[in-house]
Amino acid sequence: MTASVLLAGCDTDQVSLATNAKANQPVPPKLLAAMVEKDMDLQSPILVRLFKQEAELEVWKQARNGQFALLKTYPICRWSGDLGPKVREGDRQAPEGFYSINPSQMNPQSAYYLSFNTGYPNAFDKALGRTGSQLMVHGDCSSRGCYAMTDEQIAEIYSLGRESFFGGQKAFQLQAYPFKMTPVNMAKHRNNPNMPFWKMIKEGYDHFEVTRQEPKVDFCEKKYVFDAAKPADAKRDPVFDASAKCPAYVIPEDVVAAVRGKQAKDEAEYARLVAKGTPVARMNTGIDGGMNKIFAAKIPEGSTGLSEGAEGTTLQMLAMAKAPGTIPGHVNPPKPNLDSVASAPAPQEEPVVAVSAPATSARVATAAPAEKSGGFFSNLGRKMGMGSSDTTATTPPPQATASVAPATTTTTPPTAASRLKAAVTRFVPGHDKSKDAAKDAPKPAATVAAKPAEPAKQPDTRLAATRPALKPSVADGTSEATQIMGAAPVISSNSFDSRFGAMK
């Protein structure tokens, strides 16, 4: 039943855009004011860009001069998988590439508040035999191959898409990238096996950067082609097939010149960064996706995962900032993919050795259970320093005392828990191993014995308790909760159903 509900949340092909009050929420006043300031019409075309590493979604809107300008940047609450394109069904990868979103892909009945289908796989993906379905941008901050926002965020994004359709835009373009395609990011990831694909989609990124126009996207010979036009002597437009040979086409000279100029600067900066020795980003971390720093700061033990926080800004510094939407109590921060960790070879564990002054020999921390040692006088003698100087500090259960063991100890085989701990220590970026060593370092026997047992900590339920009973609405002063039970939502005469009926 759960699986059917989840699929229903992603099934967008057989629903109308106008039967749900959530889908007809007005564009917020702040966004309307921003449009006026940037000389944009409410119903002008939009374009969306997504960046995994930065965990950001950008909404661009066409101004009255015909060029697109950035309207608003939304932090992404959660995305799953790794940097790189989606390849097969079930790989948890959020897609990368260029996709087209038409009205039939908008889902007002989503189980994740509101959503729209990315359109994966496109013709390029299919030509390579890539599989997958129901890859969405939706609310609820929960992802299994999707880009998840908060409910308030997706309501705004959805309203902007809806209004662009009202204005006559037949489909808006979605550009999904692993990161912003800057020279520094390309240098950091220069050894990544996905680099040939990333260089190919960077071509489209560059076209948009220099023209501020939506690039025309075609496919042939299993590759992307941007802004192709028919040759001057051709009688008809070229016909493209993702799996077939490319037809004769040209790219406008002004676009070619601008793109080449940008790429020359990028390549020179890239070469400088590589020569400088820019560190290569870690690959195959096993971490499942990422989360924007503003959301990670609000979650107990939150982590940005494969996303990056702003330089000089810690999660503690962001903890007091206001989150852009309601974070549900069930949200999970990025963690190592347990399936990936389980399949990886177990790391060789070494005992943690800490030197304790003034003793000259090492004390080896171990989790082995304490063995029974002599009687009362023997224990007293050891505590007074009359025993052996080589002491094995144990981790006793509550009310247990430290025992003395010979200096020569045997190493027990690593357990599943210790392997997972070692994998997390190895995989999580920025993990400070020195803290683990300090935490595991032995304490003097007298201190361990004298310390009273601490009561077990109760789980923190404050986040779950603060989750509202009803999902919030973007509209100020109105929500579905204000309707009388059993009443249907009132749709204005100029609703999407009446205004868009001709395009169903």
pLDDT of residue 224: 98
Cα 44 versus chain centre, distance: 29
Contact assessment for residue 137 and residue 154, using Cβ atoms and an 8 Å cutoff: yes
pLDDT tens sequence across 307-334: 986 555 666 666 667 788 999 988 888 9
pLDDT tens sequence across 59-81: 999 999 999 999 999 999 999 99
Could you tell me the pTM of the whole model?
Answer: 0.68
pLDDT of residue 302: 87
What mean pLDDT value characterizes the chain?
Answer: 76
pLDDT of residue 466: 40
C-beta atoms surrounding 149 within 10 Å: 33
What mean pLDDT is predicted for residues 170-179? 98
Instruction: Supply angle C-alpha 89, 93, 98, rounded to 5.
Output: 95
Question: Which residues does the annotation mark as catalytic?
Answer: 138, 146
What mean pLDDT is predicted for residues 338-363? 43
What is the band of 422 on the pLDDT scale with cuts at 50, 70, 90?
A: low
Contact assessment for residue 61 and residue 71, using Cβ atoms and an 8 Å cutoff: yes
Q: How far apart are CA 244 and CA 466, in angstroms?
A: 55
pLDDT tens sequence across 288-297: 899 999 999 9
What mean pLDDT is predicted for residues 95-115? 96
Tokens, residue 80? 């799953």
Q: How far apart are CA 35 and CA 274, in angstroms?
A: 41
What is the band of 300 on the pLDDT scale with cuts at 50, 70, 90?
A: confident
CA quadruple 307, 311, 317, 318: dihedral sign: negative
C-beta atoms surrounding 386 within 10 Å: 9
Concatenated DSSP letters of 214-235: PPPEEEETTEEEES-B--TT-S
Query: In the chain, pLDDT over 90 holds for what percent of residues?
Result: 54
pLDDT tens sequence across 460-503: 444 333 433 345 444 443 333 334 344 444 444 444 444 444 44
Contact assessment for residue 141 and residue 99, using Cβ atoms and an 8 Å cutoff: no
Decide if pLDDT at 335 tops 60: yes
The residue to which tokens 């023997």 are assigned: 378
Decide if pLDDT at 219 tops 60: yes
pLDDT tens sequence across 7-53: 444 444 444 555 678 999 999 999 999 999 999 999 999 999 999 99
pLDDT of residue 430: 47
What is the band of 351 on the pLDDT scale with cuts at 50, 70, 90?
A: very low
